[in-house]
Chains A and B, each alone.
Chain A
Amino acid sequence: AQSVTQPDIHITVSEGASLELRCNYSYGATPYLFWYVQSPGQGLQLLLKYFSGDTLVQGIKGFEAEFKRSQSSFNLRKPSVHWSDAAEYFCAVGARGSSNTGKLIFGQGTTLQVKP
Chain B
Amino acid sequence: GAGVSQSPRYKVAKRGQDVALRCDPISGHVSLFWYQQALGQGPEFLTYFQNEAQLDKSGLPSDRFFAERPEGSVSTLKIQRTQQEDSAVYLCASSAMDGMNTEAFFGQGTRLTVV
Please give the residue numbers on chain A whose beta carbons come within 8 Å of chain B beta carbons, in ascending order.
4, 32, 36, 41-46, 49, 51, 90, 92, 94, 96, 99-109
Contacts and interface: CB of A to CB of B under 8 A. Distances in A.
Contacts of B35: 104, 106
Contacts of B101: 51
Interface of B: 3-4, 31, 33, 35, 40-45, 48, 50, 55-56, 91, 93, 95, 98-109
12 contacts: A42-B108, A43-B3, A46-B103, A46-B104, A90-B42, A99-B56, A102-B95, A102-B98, A102-B104, A104-B33, A104-B43, A109-B41
* Residue among A41, A51, A90, A103 facing the most chain B CB atoms (10 A cut-off): A103
Contacts, number: 70
A100 B48 CA distance: 11
Most buried by B among A44, A46, A51, A94: A44
Contact of A101 (B40, B56, B103): B56
A101 B42 contact: no
A32 B4 contact: no
Contacts of A90: 42-43
A102 B99 contact: yes
6 closest Cβ pairs, A-B complex: A106-B42, A43-B106, A44-B106, A32-B100, A94-B100, A43-B108
A90 B50 CA distance: 25
Contact of B91 (A32, A43, A101, A107): A43
A45 B91 CA distance: 12
A44 B31 CA distance: 17
A101 B4 contact: no
A109 B42 contact: yes
Contacts of B95: 102
A65 to B, nearest CB: 16
Given A51-B101, A90-B43, A103 B33 contact: yes
Contact of B104 (A41, A104, A107): A104
Nearest to B49: A101
